[in-house]
Amino acid sequence: MSYSRLPIWRGVCIGAITALIGGCAVGPDFVRPAPPDADRYTREPLTAATVAANGQAQRFAPNSSIAADWWRLFKSEQLDAVVRQAIANNPTLQASEASLRQSQDSLHAGYGVFFPHIEAGMDAYRQRTPASQQGPGSIFTLITLSGTVSYALDVFGGERRTVEGLRAQTDYQRYAHTAACLTLTANVVNTCIARAAYAAQIRATEQLIDLQNQQLHITEAQVRAGTAPYTNVLSMRSLIAANQASLAPLKQKISQAEHLLATLEGVVPSKAALPDIDLNGLVLPVDLPVSLPSDLVRQRPDILSAEAQLHFASATIGVATAAMFPSFSLSGTYGAAGSSFGNLPAASGRFWSIGPSATIPLFQGGSLWYGRKAAIDAYQVSQANYRQTVLGAFAQVADSLQALEHDAEALQALLAAQRSASEALDLLQANNRAGLVAYLDVLAADVQFHEATLACLQAIAQRHQDTVALFAALGGGWWNGQHPTGGTEAP
């Protein structure tokens, strides 16, 4: 070969190396799943509003924006303080934040594969050779300083798919953290509502007991006057005792709710400082935004987490596919060796090497082939899990929408029953004082009025909690507020 042809070969080598570096990535390119072909959540079209109950009808506003701090729609400063305390101190949320930071750091570490790796080394040792190798044995000192630069040529995209998988894992942890925050806020709000409802039931029961004690005094006076039998007194005392006994389970439920709130706030129950929230002080949100079904799959954090897992499984197929192809790298080494540090700069001790290397998998016993098939199977598992997550999300929204309509209907009927029970009790008490009806009828009316009152309080609380369930089912509006975490791109 003549020296005049060297530039041509140099250009060919540079072109080949450039082609290797810019090779395409094998494996499937991830495509986001299409939203379900549905324009509504329920079989029947969504009504414009629920029936009016307790003077309030909730209106549905399709394709409206959900506030990120949706719990503030209940217009309770005490509730807002409890939620923010839980967000700041909840250990589960802190663990999810740490997992997110871990995945982000792993992603940043993965980006290092796209840069040259530079290493320096030094060896210094004294050695004696055996006499059987080259005549008499000799003792010498050898000191070596060297530096190595290597760069992996990602020809088939295995490294790029690995980083793609790390990015998908970061997305999964980010959406898992968002889902944990949404679950936490919904649990806190629901527990506060339940605690307020239990307290309202206790107050209603205590008011009824006070009223019954007044009736007991009147009955005792009637017995002393000889106008009523003593059995009326015994019946009234029995009813009062039964109502007093019902207070203990309600107080126990309040204690359990307070202990749960303390746990959600990240403090021990003995250190929890919980404000008193009045059920009547909570304003029922009447304008309810409802996302379109096509938007729900891009907004609910659990669906986005399942999508990220699907993306990771897709990238894993690319990694397994690239492992079946040859791998290439470039490396260069320069160094010096000598018997002491003083003679290292001598030209006779310098050495260097540069060149590409290739590793070709010829036979692995089928491990690479079946490893790729296992990656495809894992992708199909993630695909099925994603579809199941979407179906479950749509069912939750449908349940919440239907529940709000039925809650209003039930509360409307219960309030009517309570009014009727109250009027019946007043009439029976007046007739009993006039001697027109038996006292057992008054006791039966007392029981009926008490049950109707407790049922109304439970229905009011259920209506509030189903409103919370709708906000949670729609994703909580986290995308309309400042994201609690940073981005996923490496610097």
Predicted confidence (pLDDT) per residue in 341-354, tens digit: 877 788 778 888 99
Which residue segment(s) compose the domain that 208 sits in?
21-117+154-328+366-480
* Residue 338 placed within a domain: no
Indicate whether 134 belongs to any domain: no
Residue 371 sits in a domain of what CATH number?
1.20.1600.10
What pLDDT, in 10s, does the model give residues 204-219?
999 889 888 888 888 8
Rounded to the nearest 10°, the torsion over CA 195, 187, 388, 483 is: 150
Between 364 and 135, whose confidence is greater? 364
pLDDT of residue 483: 45
Three-class SS of residue 154?
Answer: coil
What is d(CA 440, CA 127) in angstroms, rounded to the nearest whole number?
111
DSSP string, 50-108: PPPBTTB-PEEEETPPPPTTGGGGG--HHHHHHHHHHHHH-HHHHHHHHHHHHHHHHHH
Residue with structure tokens 């399709």?
A: 62
Which ranges in 130-229 belong to alpha helices (H)? 158-225
Mean pLDDT value of segment 153-159 = 91
pTM: 0.85
Q: Could you give the CA distance from residue 126 to residue 390 in angstroms, rounded to a whole number?
A: 69
> Is residue 217, in this structure, part of any structural domain at all?
yes
Report the pLDDT value the prediction gives residue 442, as an integer from 0 to 100: 81
What mean pLDDT comes out for the span 121-138?
A: 72
User: How wide is the angle at C-alpha 388 spanned by C-alphas 382 and 392, nearest 5°?
Assistant: 145
Q: How far is CA 463 from CA 283, 410, 459, 485, in A?
A: 11, 10, 6, 33
Structural domain contains residue 251: yes
- Is the predicted pLDDT of residue 10 greater than 60, yes or no? no
Cα–Cα distance, 322 to 316 (Å, whole number): 10
Is residue 173 very low, low, confident or very high in pLDDT (cuts 50, 70, 90)?
A: very high
Give the three-state DSSP class for 487.
coil
Short-list 241, 230, 210, CA closest to 439 = 230
pLDDT band at 394 (very low <50, low <70, confident <90, very high): very high
pLDDT of amino acid 198: 96
* pLDDT value of residue 479: 87
Residue 484 pLDDT greater than 90, yes or no: no
53 within a domain of the structure (yes/no)? yes
Is the confidence at residue 339, as pLDDT, over 70? yes
Compute the average pLDDT of residues 232-260: 93
Check pLDDT > 90 for residue 27. no
The number of folded domains in the chain is 1
Of 11-15, 66-70, 113-117, 234-238, least confident by mean pLDDT is 11-15
* Domain assignment present for 312: yes
In angstroms, rounded to a whole number, what is the distance separating the alpha carbons of residues 250 and 198?
Answer: 6
The side-by-side arrangement of strands in the sheet containing 139-153 is 117-128, 139-153, 327-338, 350-359
Lowest mean pLDDT among 209-223, 306-320, 356-370: 209-223
Determine the Cα–Cα distance for residues 255 and 272; give it in Å rounded to an integer: 12
pLDDT the model gives residue 135 = 54
In 3-state terms, the chain is what percent helix, strand and coil (to 5)?
Answer: 65, 10, 25
* Residue 89 counted as domain residue: yes
Q: What is the pLDDT of residue 459?
A: 95
Give the percent of the chain with pLDDT over 70: 92
Give residue 136's pLDDT. 55
Q: Mean of the pLDDT values across residues 107-114?
A: 92
Structure tokens at 148: 């190595």
Q: 25: pLDDT confidence band, cut at 50, 70 and 90? A: confident
Mean pLDDT score, 12-30: 59
Q: Which of 75-89, 339-353, 417-431 has the highest mean pLDDT?
A: 75-89
What percentage of residues in the chain have a pLDDT greater than 90? 65
pLDDT at 490 over 60: no
Write down the pLDDT at residue 290.
93
> How many separate helices (H) and strands (E) can be counted in the chain?
10, 6
Mean pLDDT computed over 72-85: 95
Question: How many other β-carbons are positioned within 10 Å of the β-carbon of residue 89?
Answer: 13
| Selection from 211-215, 355-359, 440-444, 482-486 with the highest mean pLDDT | 355-359
For range 458-469, the mean pLDDT: 96
193 falls within a domain: yes
Q: Band the pLDDT of 423: cuts 50, 70, 90.
A: very high
